[in-house]
Structure 1
């Protein structure tokens, strides 16, 4: 890969690249103008570690979740439960869209073009056009369907239902359709008569998905418990109002969730209170009955001590059982808190078993009254604790405020966050530059024309001269009228100097030629053969040589136009046919040493004429009268005429047009000549443009003085 060549190619195509960048910039500017601005509202939330500020008993502290669990809270905030409530509160499932033109409608809806107002249909939106809905009730069967609302006056409108029914309404007054259950009330109209709007109510799930796509929630920092909530939209005020509704819905569910555990515990305690009271009454009745039966019995100090210990342990076990029931609703037995409770209960069961063995050693009466007293005290203790816990949970439920705090309420910056103008313009220019570079490189890769004289030399063709591009060589499009000879009109031109260089090169190349005749051909038309032939003849004539130029293209020859001759003059065709002597067909040019033999009348069989003996006689006659004879022939890959002439003339040269003649055609022309036993004496790189070639060849300098030529009087 030649990096210098690639850079040179890009520099030559800088115009294309610049145009592509300008086009990309224009597309970026249009994209910005054709895109509604997007604003962003944001808020800041803090996930706290406790749900209330009251001092609660340690037995209730375990009921309060202390882990913020940011990831969980983010998903809850984006849930259908929260977003659905916000949509219902703010009617975010209502859609009001102005009618706009395809592709460019947003531009005309954002910017006013007064000159185009009369051209743009009245139904399309203009800057500031809007309507405000007060009520919209759509039956389930018409959800996601468009209702077309057309403004008829400042306070009146016409509504077209999806089935084509037309209803007329007034601002502030309900518009209903009893058959479908549809109802609409407009709060205001800010639009000229004729404007059209599309009114729609989308289904809840679609509205939730749209709102969720606009909502983003992230945690600031790592495990900070600070959530940043952002909502994007095209209306700054509505974005703030919608975000505030989402936050309030989230706070509401958070408080409800925080009080749910307390409510569950309270329900459980209230269900246990009647059972505990009944157990207490039964135990008291049994103890009283036993005492009446045994008259009166006093417990000894040892028995009372054992009774107190047993009662205390059984009370602790009952308390552990209630705590286990509560924990079972929230944790599995493998949870550390749950496992600690199980270990504590096992320890108390062991102590209770030991005390019961001591009770077994007491007298029968003492044992019975001990058991009955123990059951009464245990039932009374359980009932008292349940009453106390019920009151504590009531306080907990009343003091629940959730574990979320609003740090920053919903707010939106005055400037939009999208479209990002600088980025879009830079991206447009960058894509334009990439497209331009790709187009230039692809064009250069697809173009297989000769770029440098060295490419011809690699094919075995010595380059006799490089002729710079000159506008006089472009004869295409000038089918009629006289053509100027550059060597006579601008003798100091750099291109003419290249012809002089070619004249010198040919002088040495034809030293061993059998005749002073030259065949000039190319692989395709418009390669500049005629321009080169006539100007080469002109500079040779200026040097004192008698030169004859023969237009051997008997199909579309144009050399006569350089001499101002008409189309019907006789020439080569008549000479080869034997109808006209050679001397009578010659015409003298603007220089005394320059002569022309035109094509004559275009014959139907040019190749057959050239194969006659008259061609050899013509070449021999030219050798006697002229120092150089130049045959301007048609393209060698199109017809066989150049091959016939090359076999009979002293030399043949190939004309390659810079950046146009493919190297494959050059090689094919060589094969065609080689098949006939002919070899090109050299090649000329014509129409060479140093700017397009990057200055890789050709002249890299200019002349600081002029040559002056004097023509002899004719």
Structure 2
């Protein structure tokens, strides 16, 4: 067992509890507290309803102005200067529209003075249905003073030039939709002398010709690209096929013909060849490619006929002829593909250059004319862009989403204080040990009558695959004789160690290894419940007490090559039976007759039995149930095992995504209760995996 010294020293470095959850893991933890988001979402919805009851809905009206300029041809630095001048013109115009003197003219215009609902009622925390008619009454523009109306318009007016255009949007927000439209129109009319339609500029004959040429060039370019895309798949498959061929050559230098790696590589190459032929046939039948491939079709047909003829004869000479014909076929097709792909790529480059030249000329003509003097015209009269119904629903959605986000933030804060493990990454980073397997949460391990191992019950399930992964991980630890005796334990009860030990034992037995499963959990044995046909009256406790011989307690099971030793009679103090000399002799004797000896031991934290056993085994595996024991409990169990010089090689994560359980000390509730009922019934927290 000293063979584990170097690896064990490296793994035995203490890892302090820390926040070890990555992005996706933390997201799952946060989403598991969905009820917080639901509560806060409902609360946000209620708050939104209240805000709707105390505030008048807002309505928006938007009008659009256009800066029309006379164009002239610009190039180089002149074009950049013209763009800068246009931006400055737009900003200047926006500032003029919101100037105090300009807004005063707007307020004094007859159109504004005729507004009945000019100044909305003052804000109040009192809901609308509690207010009086006077409190809800709008004042007319004639009743309010000019500065008051100007202030109201200024606070609800937004002038914004549209980026990259010569348009300016005038947006007015008001409680009344009609008033908002009237104000927006009045602002434009006060600034402009008259309304005019957007001037539509004509296009020259040269511009029309260039546009038609650009459309034709674009169509030709798209056709060439479509043709090239059909060849991309074939060329990609050809590359993969060549890579696989090179790989087979290297494998043939290292392995014999029937080696699994070489067989898999040859099978993959054949699959790639079949896919390659199918893609080539698809290209051959393309209407646009019939003319090109006509020059190769006869020779390809000749090679294909030779291949079929040689394959039909089934002689060694015919097989060699078929291989030569197939190689010639592939060589011909690959040469033709390379030629056609190069031709299409050249055509794409030529068409792209022509298209770029035409579009560049169109752009030059399009920007050739500049504005010498800007003229402001109405591009679009004012129109309402919002209504009461949309504003109401938006407010409710905002309240609900805001509440959900608040609940999400609270759930995130709670996740920062959650130190349980959830997946492979969190477990490995928490305790510094590799994960040998991760078993998903499932009812496949639930026992109704007699236990049936998952590899036979549901061989295609994810749980069966997890057990296979565990078996493979143990096998890859090293030579079988160095890992013949394995001990499976856990930090606290209820983590599924017995089920994992039984499934692992069955997995080794099914792989034609003579396996023995020993129930050393003398305080709360469970292995005999998985095999109800076994006699559990005699077992390891009786052997250790000298009441029976070892050979009499070994029993066969329904799984071929799997034997079991039950815990046997209840012992008042099992730790007194675990004497070093007796344990060493028993394990040594059993290892001489079995390929694998798997021991199901008690949890580490409640009792000391496991620490008395680990010095006599070659490999220790710890089972950790996801979202159950906190990191502190797992690390404490690891520390105790290391103090006992246990050859701890890794962990098995069990019950992925299961809800976590309460805790008192290190995440374990009631250490002293474990196995306390020495002569009574069993506890229920370890009955499921």
TM range (shorter): 0.3 to 0.5
Report the structure number with the largest CA radius of gyration: 1
The structure, 1 or 2, with the larger RCO (C-alpha pairs under 8 Å, 6+ apart) is 2
If each structure's strand is expressed as a fraction of its own residues, which one has the higher value? Answer: 1
If each structure's helix is expressed as a fraction of its own residues, which one has the higher value? Answer: 2
